[in-house]
Amino acid sequence: MATQDVTVRAAAPVVEFEDVSKAFGALHVYEHMSLQVFAGETLSIIGGSGKGKSVCLKMMIGLLQADAGKVRVLGQDVDALDAEGLRKIRRRVAYVFQGGALFDSMSVLENIGYALREHTQLGDGQIRERARECLEMVALGADLLDAMPATLSGGERKRVALARSIAIEPEVILYDEPTTGLDPVNITNIGKMIMKLQRELRVTSVVVTHDMPTARKVSDRVAMLFERRFPFTGTVEQMWHSAEAEVRDFIHGTLRRGHGRDGRTQEQPSGA
């Protein structure tokens, strides 16, 4: 598990939800929800599928607005920002979409360079060099720069998406189910990449995942989404020892799905 410098909590949170509610028609996703993310930490948001974890990320960059309450990112009230304000926030906050969301009609170089062209004055040669550096950080070679996304494996696509996210040197990286659809080897590799980027770039990271092994490996803290709020935030170890009924129910469900206390997948006995 990642280690956390407790001194970061003396500062104001980098991301803060204060008494936030969000609904889609009759479906209430959040009700009076509060959450804080501190500088330099990796916080994983865990919980069942389809419960609104990704909605939380989308509110952080203004893709969705809260119905009530405040969403603050890097000291800014996100819902109060105009188009230019949102553009500036998105320059500082990178979003790694589920599945990678690469532009299929663009090469790897063009995908990584897209934000650089939008937000910087770099020339073609400088963009190519920056793209090469970003690929190197995610353990991919420069030979992929001119490749098209359709020729890449699932693991390579995820890593190119990571490279694209760090190209403009963000302060915060948001990961939406980064290991979904990957085999065990690539799941492990992506977890290592998240930890490497957090350590070497000193970014703040928020990881939405339903995968407990990944959450345990990369997180300083976890926030468990249940019944439209976060009844628990703390370390993974604290979660295992929590007396909260909702937390215990979630843990027992995780164990039934085959994840042990250390987060590793376990064999289920016959008939389990």
CATH number at residue 93: 3.40.50.300
Residue 205 lies in a domain: yes
What pLDDT score was predicted for residue 142? Answer: 94
Would you say residue 155 lies in a domain?
Answer: yes
The encoded tokens of residue 78 equal: 């996100």
C-alpha distances in angstroms, 172 versus 72, 204, 222? 13, 5, 17
Token pair of 179, please? Answer: 């290991």
237 within a domain of the structure (yes/no): yes
Which tokens belong to 142? 């420069």
Please tell me the predicted confidence (pLDDT) of residue 48. Answer: 76
Q: Is residue 268 part of a domain?
A: no
Predicted pLDDT at 9: 55
Global pTM?
0.84
Domain count, the chain: 1
Tell me which residue range forms the domain holding 93: 6-256
Please work out, in degrees rounded to the nearest 5, the angle formed at the alpha carbon of residue 29 by the alpha carbons of 26 and 35.
150
The reply to whether 23 falls in a domain is yes
Beta-ladder partners of 44: 207, 222
Please give the structure tokens belonging to residue 231.
């009844």
Q: Is residue 263 part of a domain?
A: no
Residue 30 lies in a domain: yes
Q: Tell whether 13 is covered by a domain.
A: yes
d(CA 211, CA 220): 15
What is the Cα–Cα distance from 219 to 62, expressed in whole angstroms? 24
- For the chain (length 272 residues), average pLDDT per consecutive 10? 46 94 94 96 88 92 97 97 94 87 93 90 95 94 95 91 94 94 89 92 94 90 91 88 81 56 38 28
| Residue among 47, 16, 26 at smallest CA distance from 229 | 47
Q: Which of 52, 57, 62, 66 is nearest to 37 (CA)?
A: 57
